[in-house]
Amino acid sequence: MKPRPARLQALTAIARLRADRALSDLAEACGACAALERDLDRMAAERRRHLGAAPAPGQGAALARWLRADAARRRDLLGKLARNRARRQVLEDAARQEEGRRQALDRLSGQAS
């Protein structure tokens, strides 16, 4: 039993919407990862700037506190980045699957018409 062309076209339209949505979600996740990577780069540059010059006398304790806080912020950002990368991988797999589904329905729709 062959699917009717109208039904295939409707399924293709749905598949196209789902693929577009999956790609949109993936782009959003990529943007979030890029923003976190920029924050980490900015923090690394700031850390290099602070450590590049010798601390003034009496500023060693303040620098040590700043370094501990900086390390905590860095760990937090690295954790967020790891979670976002895992989410991005899941979304990439979903987008690939939805795009494959869309292409298969496009081919079937083309053959049916």
CA distance 12 to 103: 8
Q: Which helix (H) or strand (E) holds 2?
A: none
pLDDT tens column, 10-41? 899 999 999 999 999 999 999 999 999 999 99
Residue 95: how many CB atoms within 10 A of its CB? 21
| Class of domain 5-112 (CATH, top level) | mainly alpha
Write down the pLDDT at residue 3: 58
Count Cβ atoms within 10 A of the Cβ of residue 41 and give its class: 0-12 exposed, 13-18 middle, 19 or more buried. Answer: exposed
Q: Which residues of the chain are under the pLDDT cut of 50?
A: 1
What residues does each domain of the chain span?
5-112
**What pTM does this model have?**
0.79
In angstroms, rounded to a whole number, what is the distance separating the alpha carbons of residues 109 and 113? 6
